[in-house]
Amino acid sequence: MKILGLTGGLHSAGLAYLENGVPIFAFEEERFNRIKAYKDFYAMKFRMPWECGQHVWYHKNYDWLKLDYITSHYDADVAEKIWRGIGLGPFPSEKYIKINHHLGHCALAYYCSGFEEDTFVVSIDASGEKYSCRMYLGKDGNMDEINNIPLTHKSLGHYYSMLTEFLGFKRLKDEGKIVGLSSHGGYRKEVYDCFNKCITINGLKTDKDKGKKYLGGIYEDFYRLWFEEFGSKFTQFDEDIAYNGQLVFEEKVLELFNNLHEKYPNIKKIALAGGIFANVKLNKRINELDWVDEVFVAPPMGDEGLPLGSALAVHKLKNPDFKPFRLNDIFLGTSYIDVVHDKEKFNCRPYSPTQLAFDLKEGKVVGWFQDRYEHGPRALCNRSIIADPSVPGTYKKVNDRLQRNDNMPFAPVVLDTHASSVFNVKKSKYTAEFMTMLYDTHLEWHNKIPAVVHPVDKTARIQIVTPNSNGKFYDLLRKFHAVTQIPVLLNTSFNVHGEPIVCHPKEAFVHLDNEIVDILVINDKVYTKK
């Protein structure tokens, strides 16, 4: 059975293709057109996945005419608009199946979780059709809805948008900066109260949105509370605002989950998707609940994951016996074999993991470009910049080169055999393969790998790498460990600030030419600038 999922819009456009329940490819438009998706939101541009449609040749057996089903979270008329926006002919409406926005998120989370036990499956974001949250009970491969939060009630996703914008940042772009900034602040009761009073949890719902504008209640209530407390006084404690805003956010979501647990006390697995679960500090708090055995967060947790999630939902609809499975990896993008380089600009040598391990030990910053790119927002060592996290000054050097000013440290990628000895990893190791979980770092490692440990709270957004998830990178990391006695490398996305993660080798060579990276590894070749 061949199913195509598609989406377009103001902040996400892409395609995903499923064959017999197996993800074959999942493309995001920003990777090809080099325009960050959030920019469409501010330009009010409905983006079509046109470039994605031009790259379906990557799968040699793909045929537009042989699709069994086409799906999206949009109504059929919008899906037809997207279809035609790709440059295709008449829309085969008889093959179209609409999947609800949050069901698409939840299908992705549940069916990729591999959970055999009963599972809470939850999607929360700013809004999706008529809801900001839907909750399902996953049991024996089926999902039954058990709760939702309609848009007549306040949205937790809009709460975080409000916090982001209040601190002078942009929604859909800078939420991660708020997460990082929050760990630099501290508790202030008067600030905490403003956030705490602007949204309330009542059982499995938030309080009613009584705003004068659609979805505006949480903004109106917070700003009223803030100005009642502080007036127009100039404040210089952004870190404390971020800290208390994040703290209240975590507490409200945890209250929802604990209330859910009271109603269904025997369920101990959680599968999550939707934009708010890009927040790794929140995910850490959920994972640390004493009644939770394991959490899985969909790797493309935002709307970029909806084409694949919708396709999985349709596959389940047509194949009732379909059950959750585990992903080996999320490398669902394009790859490039025949790489041509400018011989007047760049030297080339064969790849040797041992030699590269010594290069890293000497402080070199390496661009790592391998096989197919990752689906979702995280660079998982196929389109990554890597470095030795123990070398003094590495954090500042890489940050400066990438024109990055985030408060978040870079992410550590760690050998599976050493994850628990470096970080406090007691559960949810599978989701950590996709860098969707935050953990505390053991004390003895704080000063050994400073570039990947938060300077204040000593947490790390880790990626566990296994021989099955990424064999080539695993081998490099083993060699690096043998050379340095450090089973960890710094990993950050292969892009300068404000650009999408690199897709094509030509973009990687620009980074080498501009000295963003010292060494570039593409497939089995190593390039340096002359």
Q: What is the 3-state secondary structure (H, E, C) of 104-125?
A: HHHHHHHHCECCCCCEEEEEEE
Same fold for the pair 2-98 and 113-298? yes
Closest CA to 383 of 279, 481, 515, 521: 521
Mean pLDDT of the chain: 96
CA 21 to chain centre: 22
pLDDT for 86 beyond 70: yes
Q: Hey, which residues does 465 pair with through a beta bridge?
A: 415
Q: Does residue 367 carry a pLDDT above 70? A: yes
With a cut of 70, say whether residue 20 has pLDDT above it: yes
Residue 237 pLDDT greater than 80, yes or no: yes
**pTM of the predicted structure, to 2 decimals:** 0.97
The type of residue at 491 is N
Dist CA 136 CA 492 (whole Å): 34
Q: In the chain, where are the structural domains located?
A: 2-98, 113-298, 346-529
Q: What pLDDT, on a 0 to 100 scale, did the predictor assign at position 232?
A: 81
Q: CA 31, CA 376: separation in Å to the nearest integer?
A: 11
Beta-bridge partners for 525: 350, 522
Domain formed by 113-298, architecture = 2-Layer Sandwich (3.30)
Model pLDDT, residue 392: 80
Residues sharing a CB contact under 8 Å with residue 163, sequence separation 6 or more, in sequence order? 178, 195, 241, 242, 245, 246, 249
Cα gap 255→418, rounded to integer Å: 33
Comparing 233 with 330, the larger pLDDT belongs to 330
Structurally, at CATH architecture level, domain 2-98 sits in: 2-Layer Sandwich (3.30)
Q: Which of 255, 283, 259, 251 is nearest to 270 (CA)?
A: 283
Q: Which of 297, 210, 282 is nearest to 251 (CA)?
A: 282
Q: Please, what's the b/e burial string for 339-348 (b: 16 or more CB within 10 A of its CB; e: otherwise)?
A: bebeeeebee
Q: Which CATH number fits domain 346-529: 3.40.50.720, 3.20.20.70, 3.90.870.20, 3.30.365.10?
A: 3.90.870.20
Confidence of residue 73 (pLDDT cuts 50, 70, 90): very high
Q: Which of 246, 122, 265, 157 is nearest to 195 (CA)?
A: 246
H or E element, residue 474: helix 471-484
pLDDT digits (tens, 9 = 90+) for 140-164: 999 999 999 999 999 999 999 999 9
Lowest mean pLDDT across 289-293, 325-329, 330-334, 409-413: 409-413
* Alpha-carbon span 368 to 161, nearest angstrom: 33
Residue type, 436: T
Query: What pLDDT score was predicted for residue 406?
Result: 67
Q: How confident is the model at residue 114 (pLDDT cuts 50, 70, 90)?
A: very high
Residues linked to residue 297 through DSSP beta bridges, in sequence order:
272
pLDDT of 110 higher than 80: yes
Lowest mean pLDDT among 20-24, 121-125, 408-412, 452-456: 408-412
